[in-house]
Amino acid sequence: MQDKKPKTKIGWITFGFILLLILPFAAFRQQPQVPQKIGDPSLNPYPAPQDEAAQFIQKASENYFYREYKKGADNYRKAIAIYESRNDFPKVAKTYHSLGDLYVWARQPKEAIKNYQQAANVHLQVQNPMGQAEDLLEIGEIHKKAEDFDEAELWFKKSLLALTKVKINRVHGQIQEARGHNYWANKNLIEAIKAFGEAKKVYAHLNYGLGVEHMTNVIFRLENDKSRIHNHAVRDEDLEKQGYKTH
């Protein structure tokens, strides 16, 4: 006659194992669900800053994100007023630049240019040529997007001029790259290649490998593959006039 104790023991072990699996899920279901209120500060990963101007900057950033451009602009201006009262002009310039960015997204280029220019003026005042160059570069970008290519080139040159006494840096490369795209869009491939070549030199000087590789690829496309031309289509006769074979 077989002993029933081993079978009983196995049964209890199996029952205990199943119980261990079920208990955590049962306990989890019994936990009360705490309702979360809209606007609960605990839901905001970025705590409100203590500084009043920084609070307006944070609000403006939130407005920017939700495309509440008018509210965002108002909050940036409130921050600027506070920074001006403190004579904190580096932050004044930075905030004017942010205001320019906002107006670009709001598709108000005239207001964007006005605020980038204001940022450039303040950066000049505090002797920050890199900041000034970036502001002027953005104005050039606005004219480039509007296909006002000659005006864009003027602003790009102003941006480079601001860096006359500054050692080679990333902004030099960004300006030359922007000039290249401006010439490219205007179907002036020879000048585009020259500008991209200057950008490549800057990136090589800074040991920025990705920049060098990108400029190399862009130049190759311009020189060898007319099917990869800029968004602004370039006709065969335009290429041939500039010395490029199309057949």
Over residues 165-184, the pLDDT tens digits come to: 999 999 999 999 999 999 99
- Residue 207 CA to residue 46 CA, distance in Å, equals 35
pLDDT at 47: 76
pLDDT at 226: 56
Domain with CATH 1.25.40.10 in the chain: 53-151
From 174, 171, 222, select the one nearest 194 (Cα to Cα): 222
What mean pLDDT is predicted for residues 126-140?
A: 99
- Residue 141 CA to residue 120 CA, distance in Å, equals 15
Tell me which of 3.30.70.940, 1.25.40.10, 3.50.50.60, 1.10.1490.10 is the CATH number of domain 53-151. 1.25.40.10
pLDDT at 237: 45
What mean pLDDT is predicted for residues 30-51?
A: 58
Question: Three-state DSSP class for 112?
Answer: helix
- Asked if residues 228 and 221 have their Cβ atoms less than 8 Å apart, the reply is yes
Q: Which two tokens stand for residue 183?
A: 């010439």
> Which pTM does this prediction carry?
0.74
pLDDT band at 36 (very low <50, low <70, confident <90, very high): very low
